[in-house]
């Protein structure tokens, strides 16, 4: 579990530090304060062996990929171009003088460095240079992105990621992604956990099924008590699909990390406390560290209520990202401080 993070020159972060992280962390702040960028930096740090895939996912979610690619990444050669990689550097400038560093120093140290590689073949004032991702305790492992977009891992191979991790954006998971994750937990106790999460929105849900028809029409079906026929998930609203994605992602990253941008998207405010109870419980049971963002006061109050009702109140913390000019700092709210702020309607966003 991460206890601290230092970020240098990644997107909006010139020199950023956050400490005393909890098992479940809710990140708030004004627009352009760096909430999503913080999740991205954490995702790159903990998903080091899967950096090419992570980069493509992140750049695509921000619509920063100019080249089209198949969303089924397992069937598509990885290719990322320097022009697209400028999006992750501070000020959109790739410079050997301002390399990206993402570091966690306490407990289980992790390090990631991202910088252009100087060579006799390439000049930095052109687009023909390599971007090198170095990671490991001594930055001994490397992934190199060449100027033609091709990617090479150490000894031609990509290393496996140290930790299972999932990053959910506002657009949530595709059907194929959810079906693949569902197959990995089918007929296990984790399947029941997902059903419990859906029961937050509809208590009569008994089972979930993923089906594919010869017509290539895909659907997720729900079995409700008292109904002889299953109904499609799409008939239950966006909130049901959102909480299904959160639940499936959570139970498939045991001993890893779950990152969720705008976690409350599509969820009615009266259901959010129960959603947080589920997240807190699963995080403790499966040894998951969660980082989530929100703009919503309802989501913050629901989080505060769920943490206050938890047996271990240290399980959750809120951090507000505060920006002044180019400097961003993290302001920590302990459970007690958050409870006071919510009860007295003190703005923390």
Tell me, yes or no, whether 147 and 177 share the same domain.
Answer: no
Tell me, yes or no, whether 171 and 252 share the same domain.
Answer: yes
Domain containing residue 253: CATH number: 3.40.50.300
- Domain membership of residue 212 (yes or no) is yes
Cβ distance 296 to 264 under 8 Å? yes
Tell me, yes or no, whether 245 and 151 share the same domain.
Answer: no
Q: What is the pLDDT of residue 146?
A: 77
**Burial class of 159 by CB neighbour count within 10 A (0 to 12, 13 to 18, 19+):** middle
Dihedral Cα 284, 289, 292, 297, nearest 10 deg: 40
- Domain stops at, among 109, 124, 156: 156
Q: What is the pLDDT of residue 40?
A: 95
Tell me, yes or no, whether 88 and 213 share the same domain.
Answer: no
* C-alpha–C-alpha distance, residues 246 and 241, integer Å: 9
* C-alpha–C-alpha distance, residues 263 and 276, integer Å: 10
- Domain membership of residue 27 (yes or no) is no
Token pair, residue 217, equals 């029409």
Tell me, yes or no, whether 172 and 192 share the same domain.
Answer: yes
Write down the pTM of the prediction. 0.90
Q: What is the pLDDT of residue 218?
A: 61
Q: What is the pLDDT of residue 139?
A: 72
- Domain stops at, among 156, 187, 217: 156
- Domain membership of residue 293 (yes or no) is yes
DSSP 85-97: HGGGBGGG---TT
- Domain membership of residue 33 (yes or no) is no
| pLDDT one-digit tens code per residue, 143-197 | 888 777 777 775 445 555 668 999 999 877 888 889 899 999 998 999 999 999 9
Q: What is the pLDDT of residue 68?
A: 47
- Domain stops at, among 156, 175, 210: 156
Token pair, residue 241, equals 């699909």
Tell me, yes or no, whether 222 and 283 share the same domain.
Answer: yes
Low-confidence ranges of the chain (pLDDT < 50): 68-75, 120-124, 155-156, 214, 216
Q: What is the pLDDT of residue 70?
A: 45
Q: What does R_g of the chain's alpha carbons equal in angstroms?
A: 21
Tell me, yes or no, whether 305 and 284 share the same domain.
Answer: yes
* C-alpha–C-alpha distance, residues 95 and 121, integer Å: 17
Tell me, yes or no, whether 316 and 252 share the same domain.
Answer: yes
Q: What is the pLDDT of residue 287?
A: 98
Tell me, yes or no, whether 180 and 317 share the same domain.
Answer: yes
Cβ distance 47 to 165 under 8 Å? yes
Q: What is the pLDDT of residue 219?
A: 85
Tell me, yes or no, whether 223 and 152 share the same domain.
Answer: no
Tell me, yes or no, whether 82 and 188 share the same domain.
Answer: no
Cβ distance 178 to 219 under 8 Å? no
Q: What is the pLDDT of residue 128?
A: 60
- Domain membership of residue 43 (yes or no) is no
| pLDDT one-digit tens code per residue, 20-37 | 999 999 999 999 899 999
Q: What is the pLDDT of residue 72?
A: 45
Give the number of domains in the chain.
2
Tell me, yes or no, whether 195 and 338 share the same domain.
Answer: yes
β-sheet bridge partners, residue 207:
223
- Domain membership of residue 72 (yes or no) is yes
Range of the domain at 54: 48-156
- Domain membership of residue 29 (yes or no) is no
- Domain membership of residue 24 (yes or no) is no
Q: What is the pLDDT of residue 67?
A: 54
* C-alpha–C-alpha distance, residues 271 and 246, integer Å: 14
């Amino acid at each position: 579990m991460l206890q601290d993070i230092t970020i240098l020159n990644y997107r909006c972060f010139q020199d950023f530090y956050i400490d005393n992280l909890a098992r479940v962390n809710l990140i708030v702040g004004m627009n352009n304060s760096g909430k999503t960028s913080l999740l991205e930096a954490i995702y790159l740090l903990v998903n080091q062996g899967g950096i090419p895939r992570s980069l493509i996912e992140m750049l695509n979610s921000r619509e920063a990929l100019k080249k089209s690619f198949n969303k089924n990444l397992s069937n598509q050669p990885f290719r990322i171009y320097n022009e697209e990689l400028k999006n992750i550097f501070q000020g959109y400038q790739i410079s050997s003088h301002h390399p990206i560093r993402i570091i966690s120093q306490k407990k289980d140290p992790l390090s990631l460095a991202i910088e252009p590689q100087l060579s006799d073949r390439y000049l930095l004032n052109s687009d023909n240079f390599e971007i090198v991702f170095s990671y490991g305790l001594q930055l001994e492992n490397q992934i190199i992105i060449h100027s033609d977009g091709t990617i090479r891992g150490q000894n031609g191979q990509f290393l496996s990621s140290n930790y299972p991790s999932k990053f959910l954006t506002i657009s949530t998971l595709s059907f194929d992604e959810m079906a693949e994750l569902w197959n990995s937990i089918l007929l296990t106790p984790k399947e029941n956990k997902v059903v419990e999460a859906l029961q937050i929105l509809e208590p009569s849900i008994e089972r979930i099924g993923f089906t594919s028809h010869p017509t290539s029409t895909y659907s997720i079906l729900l079995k409700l008590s008292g109904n002889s026929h299953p109904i499609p998930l799409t008939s239950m609203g966006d909130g049901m699909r959102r909480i299904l994605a959160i639940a499936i992602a959570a139970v498939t990253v045991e001993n890893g990390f779950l990152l969720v941008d705008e976690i409350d998207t599509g969820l009615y405010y009266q259901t959010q406390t129960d959603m947080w109870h589920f997240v807190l419980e699963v995080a403790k049971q499966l040894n998951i560290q969660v980082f989530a963002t929100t703009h919503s006061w309802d989501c913050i109050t629901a989080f505060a209520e769920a943490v206050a009702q938890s047996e271990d109140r240290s399980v959750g913390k809120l951090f507000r990202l505060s920006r002044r000019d180019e400097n961003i700092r993290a302001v920590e709210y302990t459970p007690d401080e958050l409870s006071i702020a919510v009860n007295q309607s003190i703005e923390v966003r």
